[in-house]
Chains A and B, each alone.
Chain A
């Protein structure tokens, strides 16, 4: 499978715990994006990497959220001290250059109880 891969697919956590998600983009893609999608809504942009550099962050990305892409390949998104409002689908996408064609992974569904 050469598509965008996200792990885990589902995560249930207790409020206050930390969680980390992983995204493996399409191998030749140097751009990587994180989005958050709540039920019945369109995805909302969180952050963007070009290679290992994090070039843009949304105001949605509070201090409890951090993302990394240490070697310009896979990326991780960590949420500290989770809250019930963090429950959502977290989507990763990648693209090559600025062609505009972003390819999405299947997402990680987070449920905070």
Chain B
């Protein structure tokens, strides 16, 4: 079974600075997807970024980028120029390419301070 671990329960950053959230996972699969989801206080889960395991290039979406290290089974999220609206719970998630379910980590609560 796949497991996803987020070792940072809480993090904080000053507005406009950069922060990196960590995620590690365990799987025997070679083809899979990795995701970062954001869950603001309103509770709707929003997809931030997706990485396909067969792609060596790290995914980027505007201020959000990942550092995907397949051999180390590591998938960190970097948020540049942090904004107050980035305050949320961030979840790392794993999905087998041929599977249906997402397996989530326990989350990291990020607070952006003015």
Chain A residues in the interface with B (C-beta under 8 A): 31, 33, 35, 40-45, 48, 50, 55-56, 58, 89, 91, 93, 98, 100-107
B68 at the interface (CB under 8 A from A): no
Q: What's the count of A-B pairs with C-beta under 8 Å?
A: 57
- The answer to whether A45 and B102 touch across the interface, beta carbons within 8 angstroms, is yes
Interface residue ranges of B3-44 to A (CB < 8 Å): 4, 33, 35, 37, 42-44
Query: Given known contacts A42-B91, A42-B106, A100-B33, is B101 in contact with A56 (CB within 8 Å)?
Result: yes
Interface centre among B47, B95, B102 (most CB of A within 10 A): B102
Instruction: Return chain A residues, CB-CB under 8 Å to B44.
Output: 104-107
Report 19 cross-chain contacts, Cβ distance below 8 Å, ordered by A residue: A31-B100, A33-B102, A41-B107, A42-B106, A42-B107, A43-B45, A44-B104, A48-B101, A56-B101, A89-B43, A93-B45, A98-B97, A98-B98, A101-B47, A102-B47, A102-B102, A104-B46, A105-B44, A107-B44
Shortest distance between the CB of B38 and any CB in chain A (Å)? 11
